[in-house]
Amino acid sequence: MTGERAPVVFDAYGTLFDPAALAEPLERAFPGRGAALAVAWRATQLRHTWLRSLMGAYVDFDTITAQALAQTVREAGLVEPRELTSDLLARYRVLPAYPDVAPGLASLPPEQPLAILTNGRGATVAATVAAAGLSGRIPVVLSVESVRVYKPSPSVYALASDHFGLPPAGIWFVSGNAWDCAGAAASGLRVIRVTRGASNGSEAVGPDPSATIPDLARLASVVLDR
C-alpha cells in the first residue's frame, strides 16, 4: 500500500549524494588535479554503464566504479597508489548528501512514500543512506542488480512501478542527471529535474521532464501542487 499520495522515487548519485565530494581525496593523492579527475572518473563510470548495458556484459556498480577509476588515472598519465581504490570505494558508502536534501525531504508529508532507484549496488547505497541519517525517511532502495542492466534501460524504471504496484504515470521520479530524466520520462514516469545551478537544458533525445527545479528545497512546490 502506498497511501493516497503519489510515491516519489529518487536517483542516488548526483541527486541525493554528491560524487564530486571525492575530489578531496583525489586532490590529496594527486595535488592540483583532484577536481578534474573526479569529473573524468564520473564520466567514465557512466560511460561504462552504458557500454556494458549495450554489450550485455553486466558487472555490479562497485566493479564499474573501480575499473573507471583505474582507467581515469591511467589516461591522465598517473600511477594509482595501491590503497587509493579501496579508500575511494569505501568513501562511496559515506558520500555526503547535498545540502538541499534534508530540507527537501522535510518539506514532504511524512506519509509520502519515498524510495531510491539507483545504478548502485543495493548494499552500498543502503549504507550511504544510513550514513547520511536518511534510512528512516527513505526506507526502500531499488537497485539495477535485480535486472542486471543499467539506466536508461526501461527495465530499470519499471522496478518503481513493480514495487509500488502503480502505472509509471502515478509515480514521481527525481534526478539531477539530464540523461536519467530522459530515460525515466520515456518510460512514462513523471519526472522532476534538479539542476543545482547547471544548465536547464534537457537531452535532445527523449521527452522533457514534467518540471525543473533548482534544488530539492523546491520539491514540495511541484509534488504537492499537482
The model's pLDDT over 116-161, given as tens digits with 9 standing for 90+, comes to: 999 999 999 999 999 999 999 999 999 999 999 999 999 999 999 9
Q: How much is the pLDDT for 202?
A: 77
pLDDT at 2 over 50: no
Domain boundaries defined on the chain: 8-17+96-223, 19-92
pLDDT at 104 over 90: yes
Closest CA to 114 of 215, 220, 187, 226: 220
| Residue 197 confidence class, pLDDT cut points 50, 70, 90 | confident
| Residue 226 confidence class, pLDDT cut points 50, 70, 90 | low
What share of the chain in percent tops pLDDT 70? 97
Please tell me the distance from the alpha carbon of residue 33 to that of residue 39, in angstroms, as a whole number: 10
Nearest 5°: phi and psi at 217?
Answer: -60, -20
Q: How much is the pLDDT for 203?
A: 85
Give the mean pLDDT of 46-61: 98
Give the mean pLDDT of 67-91: 91
Q: What is the residue-averaged pLDDT of the chain?
A: 94
CATH class of residue range 8-17+96-223: alpha beta
Please tell me the distance from the alpha carbon of residue 162 to that of residue 27, in angstroms, as a whole number: 42
Give the mean pLDDT of 31-59: 97
Give the rounded distance of the alpha carbon of 225 from its chain centre. 25
Q: CA torsion sign, 150 to 161 to 187 to 108?
A: negative
The catalytic residues are: 11
Q: Look at residue 74 and give its three-state secondary structure.
A: helix
| Residue 3 confidence class, pLDDT cut points 50, 70, 90 | very low
Choosing among 1.10.240.10, 3.50.30.50, 1.10.150.240, 1.10.3080.10, the CATH entry for 19-92 is 1.10.150.240
Q: How much is the pLDDT for 200?
A: 65
Give the mean pLDDT of 49-68: 97
Give the mean pLDDT of 61-67: 96
Give the mean pLDDT of 68-82: 91
Burial of 158 per CB tally in 10 Å (0-12, 13-18, 19+): middle
Please tell me the distance from the alpha carbon of residue 30 to that of residue 153, in angstroms, as a whole number: 35
